[in-house]
Amino acid sequence: MTTAIIGTGGIGSAIARQLASGGETLRLSSADPASARTLAAQIGRAAVVAADNRDAVQGADAVVLALRFTVLKGVIDQIAGPLTGNLVVVPSNPLTLDAHGNLSRVLPEGQSSGKVVAGWLPAGARLAMAFGSMSADLFESSSHRSPERAVLFYAADDDRAGQEVERLVRAAGFEPVKAGGLEQSSRLEVGGDLHDLVVGPAEARSLVGGP
């Protein structure tokens, strides 16, 4: 199947490499097309560079918005039409970096980034907050772990979004575990109790209170 990845920086390129290793076909775009071209050349035949963000979404079964939180809404507005009917996967943490290198949350404490992003999407788009719960290096080094896959947590309100993102998580070499609905997305973020955790399925399910 085909996934569009918009944003080919630190986490977007890691997601692209791992999805391609699991057999997914990719359509890539980034602000500077040279960045998407470099990544596509590295991945090979599984990846094509789209003309722009709207073109990336054409024909894709899912769209990963691997963007800084502060540019998400602008890109969603740009591609809103084609997003209708699609799975939208967002790994973004609601953080910004000041001139001194200090990170701060761009949303009030306790406000769910998943709920905020859901409010920006057009009707008919299905959201899963996923693929942002580990730093890019840890994500790549933990994928395809053997004998037991490592878990990648996600948050979604919509059951169909959950099924679709679980397929992508498996393609990337992880076992998916739902942390909860979108209101639980802060658990996946930097500073959240599930962030940068590399655990197997049994421990993961006990952490989220599942069977």
Ligand X SMILES: NC(=O)c1ccc[n+]([C@@H]2O[C@H](COP(=O)([O-])OP(=O)(O)OC[C@H]3O[C@@H](n4cnc5c(N)ncnc54)[C@H](OP(=O)(O)O)[C@@H]3O)[C@@H](O)[C@H]2O)c1
Residues of the shown chain interacting with ligand X in the complex, contacts defined by CB under 6 A: 6-12, 29-32, 35, 53, 66-69, 71, 75, 91-93, 95, 132, 135-136
Measured from the CB of residue 40, what is the shortest distance to ligand X in angstroms? Answer: 13
Do the beta carbons of residue 201 and residue 176 sit within 8 Å? no
Q: Which is nearer to ligand X, 8 or 184 (CB)?
A: 8
Q: What is the largest CA-CA distance in the chain?
A: 46
- The rounded distance, in Å, linking the Cα atoms of 14 and 36 is 12
Q: Provide, rounded to whole angstroms, the least separation between the CB of residue 52 and ligand X.
A: 8
State whether residue 95 is helix, strand or coil.
Answer: strand
Cis ω before 33 (30° cut-off from 0): no
Axis-axis angle for helices 10-21, 159-171 (nearest 10): 80
Q: Which is nearer to ligand X, 75 or 197 (CB)?
A: 75
Spatial contact of 116 and 127, defined as CB atoms under 8 Å apart: no
Q: What is the nearest approach in angstroms of ligand X to the Cβ of residue 25?
A: 19
Residue sitting closest to ligand X (CB): 9
- In the complex, the smallest distance separating the C-beta of residue 154 from ligand X, rounded to whole angstroms, is 13
